[in-house]
A and B are shown apart, each in its own frame.
Chain A
């Protein structure tokens, strides 16, 4: 069975400092992994997707994530935080063993950016 665990429910950084949002996954298959971002009272936007091509995945708005099979991790990083990055971030794994269309979401990490 697939699952994801987001290790921090809330992360706070200062503007201009690096961002690290941590995610561990469990999967019986070679996983497809995603990061989505949700601004307050908005829908979700896809940041990036890993599908076993390159282990370092570059996404939108300067974010990237590295797939580490040995650590079962898929952490999201950004070198320099911007105020507009304040949002909730979800790590997601595709549930190939279950219903097609079933994405399994982590509980989210809320990112705060201080001026």
Chain B
């Protein structure tokens, strides 16, 4: 089955630690995205990547970093500089031929930092 996997589903970290969230897709999509979701809010774009070895900041990139060394993988690191890291993180991908804006989402990772 083609799809997007995110691991782990739940992640707990102590304040001051960096943490990396995994996102893998086997849809052969060119573009990948990271969003953050807070209760009662819509999703906000953190970073996106249209091709391997290239990525762009979204609306709330401060305190986050990404890499895109392989087409199928787009890991997100939440650094200690992120002031409010506790949130639900969603990864998505899209294929430009069907429209970059038609995005397919993974199941999400819920990060709790205490």
Q: A51 near B45 (CB under 8 angstroms)?
A: no
A44 within 8 A of B: yes
- Interface-located stretch among A13-21, A53-61, A73-81, A95-103: A95-103
Within B92-110, the residues touching A (CB, 8 Å) are 92, 94, 99-108, 110
Report the contact-size class of chain B (Cβ under 8 Å from the partner).
20 to 34
Once A41-B108, A43-B90, A45-B105 are accepted as A-B contacts, the answer to whether A108 and B40 lie under 8 Å apart by CB is yes
Q: Please measure, in the bound complex, the distance between the C-alpha atom of A49 and the C-alpha atom of B48, giving whole angstroms.
A: 21
Measured between alpha carbons, how far is A35 from B56 in the docked complex, in Å? 25
- Report whether B107 and A43 are in contact in the complex, using a CB–CB cutoff of 8 Å: yes
12 example contacts (A-B, Cβ-Cβ < 8 A) are as follows A34-B101, A36-B105, A41-B110, A44-B43, A44-B105, A46-B102, A99-B56, A100-B56, A101-B56, A105-B44, A107-B40, A107-B42
Contact surface of B with A, Cβ cutoff 8 Å: 4, 6, 31, 33, 40-45, 48, 50, 56-59, 90, 92, 94, 99-108, 110
Excluding A45-B105, A99-B56, A101-B45, 20 further A-B contacts by CB distance (< 8 Å) are: A9-B40, A41-B108, A43-B4, A43-B106, A43-B107, A44-B92, A49-B102, A51-B99, A90-B43, A99-B57, A99-B58, A99-B59, A100-B50, A101-B48, A101-B94, A102-B45, A102-B48, A102-B59, A107-B40, A108-B41
